[in-house]
Amino acid sequence: MKIALCFAMQDEAAPLIETLSANEVINTFNPHLPFRLFQCTIHGTALSIICSGKDTRYQVDNIGCEAATLLAYETVQRLQPDLIISAGTAGGYKARGAHIGKVYLSEGEIQFHDRDVPLPGFSESAIGHYPCIDSSKLASKLGLDCGVISSGSSLRKSPQDMHAKKHVVAKEMEAAAIAWVASLFGIPFLAVKSITNIVDEENLSEIAFQENFPIACATLTEILTNLLHTLTEADANKYIEAR
Ligand code: ADE
């Protein structure tokens, strides 16, 4: 089995890369693309950690759905993974029991929350409703909560964001893009997101995100390490059955 773990931000991935002693591998991706690849094996399973790389014009990571779509496509083309995981940070909802550093697994579906196309067919297509694996066994084994992960193009909170949509547990900026590519190629998909900020609270998401980023990355790394060990143990296939 081959697992691809996709991150938008290098600092989200760095502690895991260090924990797993993954090595950077060059010349795998198209040289025009900014993505970075780190690889290791766990229990004989090949793990690839793919990071979005830098927007060299502004010296920041390539976050968001456009880069995530391209990263996922290049990952599928070059690495042919059996499972794609979108890992990273997200906003959570206290109405759903979120707290800073809580890690959620995707469950049910992955969607977009800021695409509004009031035309027959386009409306649901824009929301996406992409499949993800049934993570219930994995969640109960690891003691995690799960729910719908929703993607958009803004960190800044909109008035609509203040009210958690039914079943949505986390709001971020990449999972739906990657889930779309995974669904096109029939590859099982899972999202793992750690909470940096509470959306249904009077605060600025961008301030809370910066303050809580280190805590969220620490819990993300711990959970991902356990999750990867669980997935790569002998009978791991039982955890990645599609819905
Ligand atoms: N990433 C972390 N927190 C987020 C939020 N509130 N919205 C979008 N992306 C995020």
* Structural domains in the chain (count): 1
Whichever domain contains 85, its CATH number is: 3.40.50.1580
Report if residue 7 sits inside a domain.
Answer: yes
In order of 26, 53, 143, 168, the CA distances from 212 in angstroms are 32, 22, 22, 21
Report if residue 174 sits inside a domain.
Answer: yes
pLDDT by residue for the chain (243 residues), tens only, comes to 999 999 999 999 999 999 999 999 999 999 999 999 999 999 999 999 999 999 999 999 999 999 999 999 999 999 999 999 999 999 999 999 999 999 999 999 999 999 999 999 999 999 999 999 999 999 999 999 999 999 999 999 988 888 777 789 999 999 999 999 999 999 999 999 999 999 999 999 999 999 999 999 999 999 999 999 999 996 667 787 655
Report if residue 130 sits inside a domain.
Answer: yes
Q: d(Cα 238, Cα 2) in Å, to the nearest integer?
A: 15
Report if residue 243 sits inside a domain.
Answer: no
Alpha carbon of 138 to ligand 1 centroid (Å)? 24
Determine if ligand 1 sits within 6 Å of the CB of residue 174: no
Alpha carbon of 142 to ligand 1 centroid (Å)? 24
Parent domain of 193: 2-238
3-class secondary-structure state, position 10: helix
Q: d(Cα 63, Cα 153) in Å, to the nearest integer?
A: 9
Burial of 49 (0-12, 13-18, 19+ CB in 10 A): buried
